[in-house]
Amino acid sequence: MADSINPSNAGFDAVIDKKKSIIYGIVLGVISFVLGLIVLFIVKDLNSFWGVMSMSFIVNTGIFVIISALFSFSLRKANGGYWSFSIALKSIFMMLAISTIISTIGTQVYVNFVNPTLQEKVVTHTINVTIEYMEKNNVPDEVIDSKIAELEKQVDAIGKITLGQIFKGLAITLLFQFVFALLLSALSKREKPVFVQQSN
């Protein structure tokens, strides 16, 4: 006789999976927040133009992608080693959404209340490094002036960010995280084999 599924056990497994997604989301959010601060503290003293430009991508994006992928496969393992695309998407996006919310709130609190001068130092240093790089490479003055004006707008905007802007930025980030979750779900999807048991 074919094995039966215990509804209570299925429900219990679903709760455990959701709980693990939340836990991994919190851990990933804290890691993302810390990585973001590390980038800010490194960039404010980094004299290499390409170092300044690539630091955020290498540390924030690169490490975040690797850890997210590892956590996604760990979630699948916790699900018995198998999960459908839809279950994977729900679990992974929950993890990424929680992570994004935690890191965004944490960063805003830190740069606006705990260390309000840090972000200004980073942007000002970025302006100086950018000007130096452009001058060394004989970039036309009008291009340099345009870039300086763009960066100075960022300096002026520091400390003037509204809740509406924060939520708008958060919504855009969550959209990108959903696309990332789609990719991770496609990579980690593994359907459970169906075995037909015949009764003797």
- Write the pLDDT tens digit of every residue in 1-36: 444 444 434 443 443 468 899 999 999 999 999 999
Q: How far is CA 162 from CA 58, 88, 158, 165, in A?
A: 29, 35, 10, 5
| Position 105 in a domain | yes
Distance separating alpha carbons of residues 128 and 125, to the nearest angstrom: 5
Q: How confident is the model at residue 156 (pLDDT cuts 50, 70, 90)?
A: confident
With beta carbons less than 8 A apart as the criterion, state whether 97 and 198 touch: no
Higher pLDDT pick, 104 / 191: 104
Residue 14, token pair as written in the block: 């679903």
Domain span at residue 83 reads 7-116+159-187
**How many domains does the chain fold into?**
1
- Write the pLDDT tens digit of every residue in 83-131: 989 999 999 999 999 999 999 999 989 988 899 888 888 888 888 898 8
| Position 133 in a domain | no
The CA dihedral of 44, 150, 115, 24, to the nearest 10 degrees, is -90
- Write the pLDDT tens digit of every residue in 30-61: 999 999 999 999 998 888 888 888 888 888 89
| Position 128 in a domain | no
| Position 151 in a domain | no
* Whether the model pTM is above 0.85: no
| Position 178 in a domain | yes
Distance separating alpha carbons of residues 64 and 86, to the nearest angstrom: 22
Distance separating alpha carbons of residues 86 and 93, to the nearest angstrom: 11
